[in-house]
Structure 1
Amino acid sequence: MSLAVPVWLLVQEQLLGNGVPDCGSSTCFDDFNDEALFELFHLTKPCVAFIADSIRLRIKTATTGREELSVDAQVMVALNYYAHGVFSGVVLDMAGLSNQSERAYLIVDKLSGVIVGMSDQFMSFPETPEAKACVASKIKKISRIPNALGILAAVHFKIVQSPQEKSSVSDANGTDYTSVVSQVTCDSEGNLLSVEKFRLSNGSTFKPETWELPSKEKEVEEGVKEPYRVIGTKGYQLSKYVLTPVTVPVTEGEIQYNKAHKMLDDIMQKTLSTLKRRFRCLLHLGYRQETTLDRNTDIIKACSVLHNISQKFSVPPPNAAGEVELVGPSKQHSKELEVCPEAVKARQKVIYEFFSNVSMETESTGDTDT
């Protein structure tokens, strides 16, 4: 997100003008005061207006069954669902959809696709040299870890089993639900840079350490003398372009490096907590038999785009806490994974140069990753 500053400024200039969104006329959101807006949508009035204007540029009206609804009415219904995972009666009444939840869900599905189409503007992994340097410098400033383009995590989005499924299915991770798991990258400021690689997991099939990085992220190691990296949270395997903690730190340098790594991990935890607290639909994507992976993927991506927009407007998260699960099952692997010796050496070089005054030749690695 921080790499798309020119794009963001251009859109902001087009939509915000002097800082006040121009809706052209009164909208259905005008009927709510600031407190009601935040309660219904977990967003502030300027942020809601910006989102509505951004969507309005892409669609005008959409047929939802028997008649056409205004864009503002559609946005109101979708934002309300994202915020709570259910529809508020007052919102459905204002949209003219009382007792028509099926039509409301169709609106959510449509607008989710529209918002996903805004990803290139509001959510992007660093590609240009300037963008990479900007993200990496901010991460280094707070952690001392150099050349890091983001923080990587595998995130659970819960799909609840129906009562019938619970009685017949036993998940390998000991939970009573299946989840959509996605690979997420954020920067040091809590902006989401990428949300991708969606798949279903029942606790036994998800192994983040076996995932390949996205094509854009894999490019960081090709043809670069001092390659960029990403910070891999729990479950990821150490590689030349994924930095993980030292499993058993021995030296002071390794201890300090692990503390810095934990600091970045905490940023990811806070980012995901904010995302799920603001958009509570992500805490419960529905019953497994009633949803599809494509629909869930669009909702997750749409909420991620809206998260970055709310970041730009400094919208505080709601107080309600939400459950956050970063990685796959806690189940131990049957055998230790092999780690490339060059990857271990690269990590030790970082520890030596930025976290320790002890020479690399005499420093104990204390490493049990292999």
Structure 2
Amino acid sequence: MAAGHRAIVRDRMYLRQVPRPRVFRDRSNPLEDLREEEIFARYRFRPDTIYFIVDLCQAAARDTGRCFAIPLVLCVLSYLRFLATGAFQLTVGDTVNLSQPTVNRVCRQVGQVISALADRYICFPSGDRVRQVKQQFGAMAGFSNVVGVIDCTHVSIKKPSSNPEDYIGSIIEITNIKLCIFQAVCDASYRITSAVVMWPGRTHDARIWRQCALRRRFEDGDMQGFLLADSGYACTRYMLTPYMNPVGEAQARYNGALCRTRVTVKQTFGILKQRFQVFRRKLNCSPERACMHIRNCITLHNLAIDRRDIVAVDPIDPNDYHGVDVGDNMDGKAAREYVTRMYFER
């Protein structure tokens, strides 16, 4: 028995030592072979936007010192294909004739380069842009001085190695799916102007906001204007939430206007998940790597908005807000009452 086992091990070692013939795969550029509609269906971006992303990712290109080095455009297409489908790396590699380890490497490299661009594309409006945002929300909401709408959404991820119980759903979840949660603030053009992507799924929306750097800017008076939120957040002097039990027509009209405007952030999440199917599947990686992918999706989403490369999204019911009272403060109630009297009393 021992002799037979040694013979099997010896045969396997011999097979490992036999050099395999090198295979040169056809790595033609899919952007040159497919129609624009086919490219968009596979990568969720138009060809000119993809080439723009390739130009941004020039830092990911490196001289390997070998023949048939992988073109940067294929590296970018591999990463976009992964984000667009959420497929296994082996499946992504088959579409561009790359091996799974190569896809893993190029996705990491391109992902790190795009991550370094995040602060350029995810930034809260300032200067003239603030006035434009307020005007857009004013036409939509019926009251002025709104600079953004805020909400959170969940993303399914691989079970983390530390504190996995924190990622088991939230108060409203009944499944055992591991989740992380990210908070976003968006403007009227569905552009995400602030994103926090570092919290496990059990975390409440209000706690994420309390720890947010943007909140400190509002508290310190650096930011002027209102954020619109659902009742999962506390009503403050700079954050308006719905009345839990509206009394009178003015409060009802205020609730209706706020909810019709706040649906913008829900539509933004819908656009994000429609473009990047990786949000609808489980991110089979560490929480740190998952956060990088989520933030990169937001960066690419904003880049696409800037370039008018958009996707359609189904309409969403505007009257969906949490029935959770997290406690309002007196300044917040006074600000809400002022807005109600100023804009919704007839």
Q: Which moved more, 1:70-79 or 1:336-345?
A: 336-345
Aligned AA for 2:176?
A: D
In the other structure, the counterpart of 1:16 is: none
- Indicate conservation of the 8 Å contact 2:229/2:241, yes or no: yes
The structure 2 residue matched to 1:309, chosen from 279, 291, 303, is 303
- Indicate conservation of the 8 Å contact 1:221/1:227, yes or no: no
Distance 1:76 1:170, change over 3 A: closer
Distance 1:91 1:219, change over 3 A: closer
In the other structure, the counterpart of 1:283 is: 280
In the other structure, the counterpart of 1:228 is: 225
- Indicate conservation of the 8 Å contact 2:60/2:110, yes or no: no
In the other structure, the counterpart of 1:190 is: 190
Distance 1:247 1:62, change over 3 A: farther
- Indicate conservation of the 8 Å contact 2:218/2:238, yes or no: yes
Aligned AA for 1:184?
A: A
Counterpart Cα distance in 2 of 1:175 and 1:241: 35
In the other structure, the counterpart of 1:342 is: 331
Determine whether 1:123 maps to 2:131: no
Distance 1:109 1:318, change over 3 A: farther
Counterpart Cα distance in 2 of 1:67 and 1:206: 48
Name the SS of the counterpart of 1:177 in structure 2: coil
Determine whether 1:174 maps to 2:171: no
Name the SS of the counterpart of 2:206 in structure 1: helix
Aligned AA for 2:308?
A: S
In the other structure, the counterpart of 1:111 is: 110
In the other structure, the counterpart of 2:44 is: 42
The structure 1 residue matched to 2:345, chosen from 311, 332, 356, is 356
CA drift of 1:87 comes to 5.4
CA drift of 1:223 comes to 4.2
CA drift of 1:233 comes to 2.9
Counterpart Cα distance in 1 of 2:231 and 2:68: 49
In the other structure, the counterpart of 2:84 is: 83
Name the SS of the counterpart of 1:80 in structure 2: helix
- Indicate conservation of the 8 Å contact 1:190/1:268, yes or no: yes
The structure 2 residue matched to 1:133, chosen from 120, 126, 131, is 131
Q: Select the structure of larger CA radius of gyration.
A: 2
RMSD in angstroms over aligned alpha carbons?
Answer: 3.3
CA drift of 1:221 comes to 4.3
Counterpart Cα distance in 2 of 1:62 and 1:137: 49
Counterpart Cα distance in 2 of 1:43 and 1:349: 44
- Indicate conservation of the 8 Å contact 1:61/1:69, yes or no: no
- Indicate conservation of the 8 Å contact 2:197/2:291, yes or no: no
The structure with the greater share of residues assigned to helix is 2
CA drift of 1:255 comes to 1.0
- Indicate conservation of the 8 Å contact 2:157/2:179, yes or no: yes
Name the SS of the counterpart of 1:152 in structure 2: strand
The structure 2 residue matched to 1:149, chosen from 144, 147, 150, is 147
Name the SS of the counterpart of 1:69 in structure 2: coil
Percent identical pairs in the alignment equals 20
Counterpart Cα distance in 2 of 1:87 and 1:207: 31
Determine whether 1:294 maps to 2:288: yes
Name the SS of the counterpart of 2:188 in structure 1: coil
- Indicate conservation of the 8 Å contact 2:168/2:179, yes or no: no
Distance 1:133 1:218, change over 3 A: farther
Name the SS of the counterpart of 2:70 in structure 1: strand
Counterpart Cα distance in 1 of 2:331 and 2:229: 17
User: Where does the alignment leave 5 or more consecutive residues of structure 1 unmatched?
Assistant: 1-25, 358-370
In the other structure, the counterpart of 2:100 is: 101
Counterpart Cα distance in 2 of 1:315 and 1:293: 29
TM-score of the aligned structures, taking structure 1 as reference length: 0.73
- Indicate conservation of the 8 Å contact 2:168/2:178, yes or no: no
TM-score of the aligned structures, taking structure 2 as reference length: 0.78
- Indicate conservation of the 8 Å contact 2:152/2:181, yes or no: yes
Counterpart Cα distance in 2 of 1:221 and 1:294: 29
Name the SS of the counterpart of 1:61 in structure 2: coil
Counterpart Cα distance in 2 of 1:66 and 1:301: 34
Aligned AA for 2:252?
A: I
In the other structure, the counterpart of 2:31 is: 29
